[in-house]
Amino acid sequence: MTGDGPGGSGAQRRPDHGGDQQRRHLDLIERDRRRLWHPYAPMPAALAAVPVVAAAGATLTLADGRQAIDGMSSWWAAIWGQRHPVLDEAVRTQLELMAHVMFGGITHPAAVELAELLVDVTPAGLEHVFLADSGSVAVEVAIKMALQHARGTGRPQRTRLLTVASGYHGDTLGAMSVCDPTAGMHSMFSHILPAQFFAPPPAPRYGEALQAEHIAPLADLLAEHRQEIAAVILEPILQGAGGMRFYSPDYLAEVRRLCDRHGVPLIADEIATGFGRTGRMFGCDHAGVRPDILCLGKALTGGYLSMAAVLCTPEIAAGVSAAESGALMHGPTFMANPLAAAVATASTRLLLSRPWAAEIAAISESLEAGLAPAAALPGVCDVRVLGAVGVIEATEPLPVAATQELLLDRGVWLRPFGRLLYTMPPYISSAEQLDRITAAMVAAAEALP
Ligand SMILES: *Cc1c(COP(=O)(O)O)cnc(C)c1O
């Protein structure tokens, strides 16, 4: 792992431009608030956005000259940080060939290369690839695949999905219908969403043994309603935005067995967990499980451009294509965008070229050692680490603005979410940067009332 030159020294302002930088900083905040929506934010935004004007390696440069380590990998995506020479070069090379071309009736080398590579790196048996433009759209496509597969295999009454509570699968309507039904951000839409089946969240934590009663509710739902269920969908091993919960691979393996027994396809949403984040290449690899449909996104392009992928087995593809439409009914304008495909191939090859498992294990150790002191703090109820993901769970919601300011003063960018303060740092973070992230997290937890 290498550090990144300019990254480092926390909340410092350059004295020569201090006034100008401060003015630009405030100007951007003001203009942003007047015009732009931010994720899950009102208009105008309640909290000022932090203006970032450049980034290199794991480090963001703020408009006021301060620097902050991107401890979120910009929402799981920027696993190589910013301006990685290999990824930059892949985009530049593709740009000189073409930026975009429609995928209806046309193909191009960047898409073909990426599809072959994804089939190579994912669990054996996933052979066909749909290149979508975002994670939520990938989930929509996966759901359509399941529904069309049911129709194409003569089981049109199978129109519902079975999932587990505490899940998160995206913000579009189909994806929202399988997000956690109560705690999820989307509960206010529940009356217009298709009604799905929900089992309780996977109970056994990562490393704990699976008991019969852990799986019984899901097993019962599946047995009782299998004639209505087009697919089971879940996030393997790690439930992300639904609570940063790590659960037992035995649970996932048992879900696979139950799906086989009842002839129900399994959709694995690995949009957050893919590409090494949990310590294995994919979350499914912890359990040796091959899903029938697999969704990838986020780190797929190393965070450079928006792209997601849906892989499926030949059996699913045949079922889909045998439905009355004779075709998979989806086709986004920016499907298989060449720039995104080229950088996705470069990022995936870069990962494969490195001793990634050892590197992520080292990050894991740093996070464990660095976050351990938080476990004893009064406002903290749990500290957990899996792969390159570290979580401090507080007993009460974290004050977002105050926590962010405290972290930025320590040169760290993180976004607290409810009772969770968590990090999934770029894989290129140096030991010093990881220490700085965990020390800032512990300081934020110490500041809790
Ligand atoms: C982020 C995420 C999505 C949605 O991806 P977008 O690119 O934000 O649409 C879906 N599923 C999981 C598990 C995610 O983490």
pTM for the model: 0.95
Strands in 420-423's sheet, in edge-to-edge order, are 380-386, 389-394, 420-423
Catalytic residue among 133, 168, 206, 285: 168
Q: Is 269 one of the catalytic residues? A: yes
CA angle 123, 346, 76 (to 5 degrees): 70
The pocket around ligand 1, CB under 6 angstroms, is made up of: 134-136, 139, 168-170, 235, 240-241, 269, 271-272, 297-298
What are the beta bridge partners of residue 392? 383, 421
Whether the Cβ atoms of residue 418 and residue 400 lie closer than 8 Å to each other: no
User: What CA–CA distance (Å, rounded) separates 363 from 386?
Assistant: 10
CA angle 93, 141, 415 (to 5 degrees): 70
Q: Is 64 one of the catalytic residues? A: no
User: What CA–CA distance (Å, rounded) separates 353 from 181?
Assistant: 41
Q: Which two tokens stand for residue 352?
A: 């494969």
User: Which ligand 1 atom sits closest to the C-alpha of 308?
Assistant: 7
User: What CA–CA distance (Å, rounded) separates 354 from 1?
Assistant: 10
Strands in 67-70's sheet, in edge-to-edge order, are 52-56, 59-62, 67-70, 412-413
pLDDT value, residue 260: 98
Please give the distance, rounded to the nearest whole angstrom, from the Cα atom of residue 169 to the centre of ligand 1. 5
Going residue by residue through the chain, which has 449 residues, state the pLDDT in tens, using 9 for 90 and above.
444 444 344 444 455 567 899 999 999 999 999 999 999 999 998 889 999 999 999 999 999 999 999 999 999 999 999 999 999 999 999 999 999 999 999 999 999 999 999 999 999 999 999 999 999 999 999 999 999 999 999 999 999 999 999 999 999 999 999 999 987 677 788 889 999 999 999 999 999 999 999 999 999 999 999 999 999 999 999 999 999 999 999 999 999 999 999 999 999 999 999 999 999 999 999 999 999 999 999 999 999 999 999 999 999 999 999 999 999 999 999 999 999 999 999 999 999 999 999 999 999 999 999 999 999 999 999 999 999 999 999 999 999 999 999 999 999 999 999 999 999 999 999 999 999 999 999 999 999 98
Q: Is 144 one of the catalytic residues? A: no
Please give the distance, rounded to the nearest whole angstrom, from the Cα atom of residue 135 to the centre of ligand 1. 4
Q: Which two tokens stand for residue 389?
A: 């993901």
User: What CA–CA distance (Å, rounded) separates 306 from 133?
Assistant: 6
Question: In this structure, is the dihedral angle defined by the CA atoms of residues 409, 415, 420 and 423, taken in order, positive or negative?
Answer: negative
Q: Which of 272, 207, 269 is nearest to 241 (CA)?
A: 272
pLDDT value, residue 10: 45
The amino acid at 327: A
Q: Is 168 one of the catalytic residues? A: yes
pLDDT value, residue 17: 65
Please give the distance, rounded to the nearest whole angstrom, from the Cα atom of residue 6 to the centre of ligand 1. 31
The preferred substitution site among 38, 40, 79, 136 for testing ligand 1, maximizing ligand atoms within 8 Å of CB, is 136
